[in-house]
Amino acid sequence: MAKTMAQLPYHYGVKVRVFPSTEQKRLIKRNSDASRFIYNQMNGMNNDLFWLKQVKIPITIVLDRIADLTKRLRKPSTAISNIHGWLNHPDFDSLMKANAIKNYKTAWKLFRQVHQAGTPKFHKRGYTQTYQTSCLYSAKITVPSMNNGSVRLTDTHHLWLPKLGRFHFKGFPSHLLSRADDVRVGTITVSMDAVGHYFVSLQMGSEYPFVGKQRVAKSKVGIDLNLDNFLTDSNGQVIANPRYYRMIKGKLAKAQRKLSRRARRAKKGQRRLSESKNYQKQRLLVAKLQLKVANQRKNFLHHISTTLIKNHDLVVAEELRSKNMLRDHALAMSISDVGWRTLLGMLSYKADLYGRKFLTVNPRNTTQTCSHCGHIMTGKNKLTLADRKWTCPSCGTFHVRDHNAAKNVLAKGLATL
DSSP string of 104-116? HHHHHHHHHH-GG
What average pLDDT does this structure show over 73-101?
92
Give the DSSP H or E segment for 299. Answer: helix 277-311
Quote the CA–CA distance of 227 and 337 in Å, as a whole number: 9
Give the pLDDT band of residue 218 (cuts 50, 70, 90): confident
In the chain, what is the greatest distance between 2 CA atoms, to the nearest angstrom?
81
What pLDDT does 138 receive? 83
Residues 144-164 pLDDT 10s? 888 888 998 988 899 999 999
Quote the CA–CA distance of 122 and 42 in Å, as a whole number: 9
Are 375 and 390 in contact by the 8 Å Cβ rule? The answer is no
Residues 357-397 pLDDT 10s? 999 999 888 888 998 888 988 888 888 888 888 888 888 88
b/e sequence 246-285, b meaning 16+ C-beta within 10 Å: eebeeebeebbeebeebbeebeeeeeeeeebeebbebbeb
Give the DSSP H or E segment for 411. Answer: helix 401-416
pTM assigned to the model: 0.88
Are 229 and 294 in contact by the 8 Å Cβ rule? The answer is no
Quote the CA–CA distance of 295 and 352 in Å, as a whole number: 24
Give the pLDDT band of residue 1 (cuts 50, 70, 90): low
> Using CB atoms within 10 A of its CB, is residue 46 exposed (0-12), middle (13-18) or buried (19+)?
middle
If one counts every other C-beta atom within 10 angstroms of the C-beta of residue 195, the result is 15
Query: In the predicted model, what is the mean pLDDT of the chain?
Result: 90
Give me the sign of the Cα torsion angle 328, 334, 340, 342. positive
Phi, psi (deg, nearest 5) at residue 358 = -130, 130
What pLDDT does 35 receive? 96
Cα–Cα separations (whole angstroms), residue 12 to 5, 152, 157, 349: 11, 16, 20, 10
Give me the sign of the Cα torsion angle 366, 371, 377, 383. negative
| pLDDT over threshold 80, residue 321 | no
Q: State the pairing for strand pair 220-225/314-318.
A: parallel
What average pLDDT does this structure show over 195-207?
94
Question: How much of the chain, in percent, has pLDDT values that exceed 70?
Answer: 98
Quote the CA–CA distance of 316 and 379 in Å, as a whole number: 28
Question: How much of the chain, in percent, has pLDDT values that exceed 90?
Answer: 58
Fill in the DSSP letter of residue 13.
E
Residues 304-313 pLDDT 10s? 999 999 999 9
Residues paired with 323 in a beta bridge: none
Amino acid at position 191, single letter: S
Give the pLDDT band of residue 288 (cuts 50, 70, 90): very high
Amino acid at position 153, single letter: L
Residues 243-269 pLDDT 10s? 999 999 999 999 999 999 999 999 999
Quote the CA–CA distance of 195 and 284 in Å, as a whole number: 6
What pLDDT does 216 receive? 85
Helix (H, G, I), strand (E, B) or coil at 18: strand
Are 347 and 305 in contact by the 8 Å Cβ rule? The answer is yes
Give the pLDDT band of residue 30 (cuts 50, 70, 90): very high
What pLDDT does 383 receive? 86
Quote the CA–CA distance of 338 and 71 in Å, as a whole number: 49
Are 239 and 300 in contact by the 8 Å Cβ rule? The answer is no
Closest by Cα among 137, 130, 131, 126 to 97: 131
- What residues are annotated to the active site? 224, 318, 402
If one counts every other C-beta atom within 10 angstroms of the C-beta of residue 321, the result is 11
